[in-house]
Homo-oligomer: A and B are copies of this chain.
Amino acid sequence: MGKGITSREEDYSKWYNELVIGADLAENSGVRGCMVIKPYGYAIWENMKAELDRMFKETGHSNAYFPLFVPKSLFEAEEKNAEGFAKECAVVTHHRLINDPDNEGKLIVDPNAKLTEELIVRPTSEAIIWNTYKNWIQSYRDLPILINQWANVVRWEMRTRLFLRTAEFLWQEGHTAHATKQEALDETQQMVEVYAKFVEEFMAVPVIQGRKTESERFAGAEDTLCIEALMQDGKALQAGTSHFLGQNFADAFDVKFVNKEGKPELVWATSWGVSTRLMGALIMSHSDDQGLVLPPKLAPIQVIIVPIYKGEDQLITIVEKIQPIIDKLKAAGIRVKLDDDDQKKPGWKFAEHELKGVPIRLAVGNRDLQNSTVELARRDTQTKESVALDGLEDLIARLLEEIQTNLFDKALKFREEKTTKVDTFDEFQQVIEGKGGFVLAHWDGTAETEDKIKELTKATIRCIPFNNEQEEGKCVYTGKPSSQRVIFAKAY
């Protein structure tokens, strides 16, 4: 019944692309590297946004909106940040088009409409925001500032993949300002925990929380905390980051406050973000060769009902009998849809909803109804059973929770199986090349070794987990002493 997408085994990358297209999540657009997020994909993103937004507000943050453009002089103010993004940014240089005198109906850039200062399409908003905060902060009474922004950003990536790496993507970026270092550190920690909670509870994707090495830090940060997930092909995916920015941006934009003692001090900063990349993590964590598998908490449609009928009369009878169930499900807050499209056969619909990852499917025929039963199919286990109409709404509510838990458990079990401790570099290379997954290995703590390992194996240090077990050992590459294992993996 599969709609013929390539299997993961055959070609994982092709499977991913075909699934994203086939399940109507997104597609490439007429603009290099930019995607169109289709209604079904966007509905999942909307559910993700709604939960994240609630969590941000519960932790005291408000939303605001800052300009899309960053004037070059502001962009370059924090040098490390600028250096990190200068290589891949879209630059606006003109503000007008005129008719092409040599080509009727065509337009050219008006050379007389050159901007006096170029504008960078934001790849991230620290610069424009700290240039704004400067005017908002005078005294310790103005702090903290706890703001989040939902926005689009542009990074001119050369190789793009739907959701995972696109030139334009949607994200949220939190930007907070604090009077003390400790408060900023606490905020950085709090937000990585919010991300972990969201990804685990709603996306059903287990993550490891930890700290990036210096070389993997956000450009301009003093510390980057992250959550790392493992995909089914054994590659890691960084699912969210929370940065302690120290006083770097306050220094670059001269943002000072007068403390309680009446003395000026530089403000402490954090920033944190997750993006439509999470869609990629969601897809790759649970889906199978039949298509998308969605955790119920984020599924735009949690229950799809497919009537099995011959002729309009039968359809009417079925709809009449099933309508009270639909009403009860809706009243219980369950997102249910009746697929009464008369143009499509049940088999086509089964495959379609399977491809789109709807958690529960009910097939309802006349004979079922005579027996007061329906056929219930679970997308996660691909099992089917005949269940009684009586009490169906309770069963479904319970099953949706069970599916949510099952997906998480399955992903966790997979990650555990794909996590390997290695003690020699031979073993390291073998696991990275073969089994894949997270590799726990000792590292001597130097950027040189990190680089060398990356060069040789394409594996990077995903993070140094919080509360990491301390253990005497030797660096897997240099043999130098090390006090803990870090997590290596090839990554998206």
A17 to chain B, nearest CB (A): 16
| A71–B141 alpha-carbon span in the complex (Å) | 47
A124 to chain B, nearest CB (A): 14
Determine whether A107 belongs to the interface, using a CB cutoff of 8 Å to chain B: yes
Chain B residues with CB under 8 A of A71: 30-31
Which single member of B35, B42, B62, B94 contacts A63 (CB below 8 Å)? B42
Determine whether A120 belongs to the interface, using a CB cutoff of 8 Å to chain B: yes
CB <8 Å contact, A65 and B36 = yes
CB <8 Å contact, A66 and B128 = no
Determine whether A265 belongs to the interface, using a CB cutoff of 8 Å to chain B: no
Determine whether A70 belongs to the interface, using a CB cutoff of 8 Å to chain B: yes
A8 to chain B, nearest CB (A): 26
Determine whether A216 belongs to the interface, using a CB cutoff of 8 Å to chain B: no
| A92–B142 alpha-carbon span in the complex (Å) | 37
CB <8 Å contact, B69 and A168 = yes
CB <8 Å contact, A91 and B86 = no
Proximity bits, A60-74, B CB within 8 Å = 1, else 0:
001111111111101
Determine whether A328 belongs to the interface, using a CB cutoff of 8 Å to chain B: no
| A95–B118 alpha-carbon span in the complex (Å) | 12
Chain B residues with CB under 8 A of A151: 152
Chain B residues with CB under 8 A of A65: 36-37, 42, 170
CB <8 Å contact, A63 and B89 = no
CB <8 Å contact, B63 and A30 = no
Determine whether A96 belongs to the interface, using a CB cutoff of 8 Å to chain B: yes
Determine whether A370 belongs to the interface, using a CB cutoff of 8 Å to chain B: no
CB <8 Å contact, A68 and B107 = no
Q: For window 109-144 of chain A, which residues contact chain B by CB distance below 8 Å?
A: 109, 118-121, 128, 131-132, 135, 141
CB <8 Å contact, A64 and B36 = yes
A16 to chain B, nearest CB (A): 20
| A482–B90 alpha-carbon span in the complex (Å) | 53
Q: For window 22-74 of chain A, which residues contact chain B by CB distance below 8 Å?
A: 27, 29-31, 34-39, 42-43, 46, 62-72, 74
Determine whether A79 belongs to the interface, using a CB cutoff of 8 Å to chain B: yes
Number of copies: 2
Determine whether A93 belongs to the interface, using a CB cutoff of 8 Å to chain B: yes
Interface size, chain A (Cβ < 8 Å): 64
Chain B residues with CB under 8 A of A39: 62-64, 147
Chain B residues with CB under 8 A of A72: 97, 107
Determine whether A75 belongs to the interface, using a CB cutoff of 8 Å to chain B: yes
Q: For window 422-437 of chain A, which residues contact chain B by CB distance below 8 Å?
A: none
Residue of A70, A76, A99 ringed by the most chain B CB atoms within 10 A:
A76
Determine whether A105 belongs to the interface, using a CB cutoff of 8 Å to chain B: yes
CB <8 Å contact, B66 and A29 = yes
Chain B residues with CB under 8 A of A147: 39
| A129–B147 alpha-carbon span in the complex (Å) | 32
Determine whether A398 belongs to the interface, using a CB cutoff of 8 Å to chain B: no
| A95–B106 alpha-carbon span in the complex (Å) | 23
Determine whether A343 belongs to the interface, using a CB cutoff of 8 Å to chain B: yes
Take A79-B105, A97-B72, A121-B92 as given contacts and tell me if A128 and B168 are in contact as well, using a CB distance cutoff of 8 Å.
no
A31 to chain B, nearest CB (A): 4
A248 to chain B, nearest CB (A): 14
CB <8 Å contact, B93 and A89 = no
Chain B residues with CB under 8 A of A154: 68
Chain B residues with CB under 8 A of A105: 76, 79
CB <8 Å contact, B75 and A86 = no
Q: List 16 A-B contacts (CB under 8 A).
A: A27-B132, A29-B128, A30-B132, A31-B119, A34-B67, A39-B62, A42-B63, A76-B107, A86-B107, A89-B95, A89-B96, A95-B156, A109-B118, A121-B121, A151-B152, A152-B152
A interface vs B, CB < 8 Å?
A: 27, 29-31, 34-39, 42-43, 46, 62-72, 74-76, 79, 82, 86-99, 105-107, 109, 118-121, 128, 131-132, 135, 141, 147, 151-152, 154, 156, 168, 170, 343
